[in-house]
Amino acid sequence: MAQYKGAASEAGRAMQLMKKREKEREQLEQLKQKIAEDNMVKSNIDKKFSAHYDAVEAELKSSTVGLVTLNDMKAKQEALVKEREKQLAKKEQSKELQLKLEKQKEKKRKEEQKRKIASLSFNPEDEEEEEEENEEEEPDYAPVKKKKLGKNPDVDTSFLPDRDREEEENRLREELRQEWELKQEKIKSEEIEITFSYWDGSGHRKTVKMKKGNTIQNFLQRALEVLRKDFSELRSAGVEQLMYIKEDLIIPHHHSFYDFIVTKARGKSGPLFSFDVHDDIRLVNDATVEKDESHAGKVVLRSWYEKNKHIFPASRWEPYDPEKKWDKYTIR
């Protein structure tokens, strides 16, 4: 190639142009190669289709003799095409079936190999067969029986899981649970005498009999029936308008007498689990020492409490909180 003689800038420009042309030439060669490969693939596909239709055409020529109508020719051609497609489909199915059979053979071969490997390990049945053969060969000697190792009765196995023992324990737990529930139901059905005082600024003491399982709401309903005869302001009142105050605590309606008896609950000025009355409470008592001493519970209209809650004794009253503990009983 002739060298360019001239200015340095022109020489550089000429060199860049030459590199650009070389690059374009390489890209052109790559494009030609790709087009040739695509044409090769298309020709292979065409050959496959042409082979299929060549076979159909050959069968059509061999089965057609003489002059035929166009409709007959088309019908025969369609029939031959369908027949050819069925044959190809059968070939594909046979190939798939062959592959499945080969896979099954391979699977069986692997299973057989695993079985052979497993048979190499210790097998007690083989040992028994060998012992029988030895006995047949030596009939003069008496067979020696092997002693089987059993459990040691002296070893403590209580820590091991035992289904029978667990079932027995569960059965015993269920029996105890049912027995406890029956006992509690019996306690709830026992009658107690409730001494209470209707408080409207002064006390009006009454007594009713209730069951330990009854709620405060049941008690207030019964008390209302007793009090309506003597107090006109209660004739139109409902249970929701009444409050029950026991040992300076306002008891919610959903609690039952059984709840206080079982838990031995205490109030500010006496026990909540005793509902009869002793009038000998004078001093500050120790709540840790249980005494059968309590004040009569008060039945109060909610409207009266709202008007007089700043005046003694209503000023001492507060809602009952089962989480709060009273270490000392106070009456002042």
Q: For residues 39 and 4, which has the higher predicted lDDT (pLDDT)?
A: 39
pLDDT score, position 52? 58
Distance CA 332, CA 313 (A): 9
Return the higher-pLDDT residue of 303 and 11: 303
Confidence of residue 284 (pLDDT cuts 50, 70, 90): very low
For residues 143 and 38, give the distance between their C-alpha atoms in angstroms, rounded to a whole number: 85
Domains annotated for the chain, with CATH where assigned, are: 19-58+75-112 (no CATH), 191-277+293-319 (3.10.20.90)
In the DSSP assignment, the letter for residue 146 is: P
- Whether the per-residue pLDDT at 82 is higher than 70: the answer is yes
- Lookup: tokens for 176: 């105890």
Which pLDDT tens digit goes with each residue over 83-103? 878 888 888 888 888 888 888
Q: Which residue in this structure is represented by tokens 């289904």?
A: 163
Return the half-sphere exposure (C-beta side, CA atoms, 13 A cut-off) of residue 217. Answer: 6
Residue 141 pLDDT greater than 60, yes or no: no
What pTM was computed for the model?
A: 0.43
| pLDDT band, very low/low/confident/very high, at 268 (cuts 50, 70, 90) | confident
What is the structure's pLDDT at 177?
A: 92
Percent of the chain with pLDDT over 70: 72
Give the helix ranges, DSSP H, for the chain: 8-63, 70-119, 124-137, 163-188, 216-227, 257-263, 302-308
The confidence score (pLDDT) of residue 176 equals: 93
pLDDT digits 0-9 by tens, 60-72: 666 666 666 777 7
Using CA atoms, how far residue 171 sits from 165, 166, 168, 177, 326, in Å, is 10, 9, 5, 10, 41
What pLDDT sits at residue 70? Answer: 72
Greater confidence, 156 or 87? 87
Q: Is the pLDDT of residue 199 over 90?
A: no
- Each residue's pLDDT tens digit, 222-260: 989 888 888 888 888 888 989 998 888 888 898 888 888
Q: What's the pLDDT score for residue 234?
A: 86
- The pLDDT of residue 330: 60
Neighbours of 316 (CB within 10 A): 15
Does the pLDDT value for residue 132 go beyond 50? yes
pLDDT for 202 beyond 80: yes
Q: What's the whole-number average pLDDT of the chain?
A: 77
pLDDT in the model for residue 285: 43
Q: What is the pLDDT of residues 286-306, one digit of tens each?
A: 444 444 456 788 899 998 999
Taking only the tens place, the pLDDT of each residue in 99-118 is 888 888 888 888 888 887 77
Mean pLDDT over residues 166-177, rounded?
A: 90
pLDDT of 149 reads: 63
